[in-house]
Amino acid sequence: MREIDAASKHLYDTLTGDTALAALIGDRVYEREAPADATYPFIVFSLYTSSSLKAGGKSGRLLVYPRWLVYAFLDRNDLPAAREVLSAADDALTDSTGTVTLGSETYYVQTVAQDGSPPESGGTVDGNEYCRAGAFYTSPVHSV
């Protein structure tokens, strides 16, 4: 679905364009997974689920509701620091709006925070410490 691609681009552009978040993580924002050699700290976002409001007509979709999982990762077991990075991401994403053009189609996207949060974790894996804190967001998107 092109709407999902538009919402993904909006999330990436919003996260990488925020100066407060950039002060904490630079431009280290990844979709789905970070590269094995990624420098910490970083943000990973991925599509968690999606639904759509359907109607008749050419596309059949009026509005698509992708739900995203956004995690902040650190290379030490420091949950307060991971929450600080996530808080900066939350400030950037919550109620962000914009248009995204893909090919000849333009989409309107608004990102809103969702109740609930995924499990936080920290510890040691293969001798390496890590920590992650996450949140859910929905980005309703429709053609303009």
pLDDT at 106: 94
Buried b (16+ CB within 10 A) or exposed e, 47-73: beebebeeeeeeeebeebebebbbbbb
How sure is the predictor about 61, in pLDDT bands with cuts at 50, 70 and 90?
low
* Cβ–Cβ < 8 Å for 109, 140: yes
Give the model's pLDDT for residue 5: 95
State yes or no: pLDDT of 138 exceeds 80.
yes
Residue 119 DSSP label: P
**Domain spans of the chain?**
2-143
Residue range 2-143, CATH number: 3.30.2000
Question: Is a pLDDT exceeding 80 seen at residue 57?
Answer: no
The number of beta carbons lying within 10 Å of the beta carbon of residue 123 is: 9
Please work out, in degrees rounded to the nearest 5, the angle formed at the alpha carbon of residue 130 by the alpha carbons of 127 and 133. 160
Q: Which two tokens stand for residue 73?
A: 């990762």
Segment 86-105 shows an average pLDDT of: 95
pLDDT value, residue 1: 67
CB atoms within 10 A of CB 94: 12
